[in-house]
Amino acid sequence: MTQFDQKLQEQCKLDTGINEVFVNQNELADYLDLAQRYPEGQMQKIFIPTYRGEIVSLSFEKQRAIANLLAEAEVDTLEELAAL
């Protein structure tokens, strides 16, 4: 686990759900292995779906994070997820 992974995990408060977190843009670019850099390294909001305490993915869109969470849990709706 990288230091960035640890930072993400520390910000995720939900065992199962969508966590809204803020990360440094340059750290995120490094993590995603992107060449683009930002002079000021501002904070970027991302959505992190977690399922049973594990990070599923990173997303810039809440809807995509929800879809990834539902796919990981192998359910079709949020109601089904809540019933697990």
Question: pLDDT digits over 9-45, tens only?
Answer: 999 998 999 999 999 999 999 999 988 887 887 999 9
pTM of the model: 0.87
Question: pLDDT digits over 49-83, tens only?
Answer: 999 999 999 999 999 999 999 999 999 999 999 99
* Alpha-carbon distance values, 57 to 32, 38, 84 (Å): 12, 23, 20
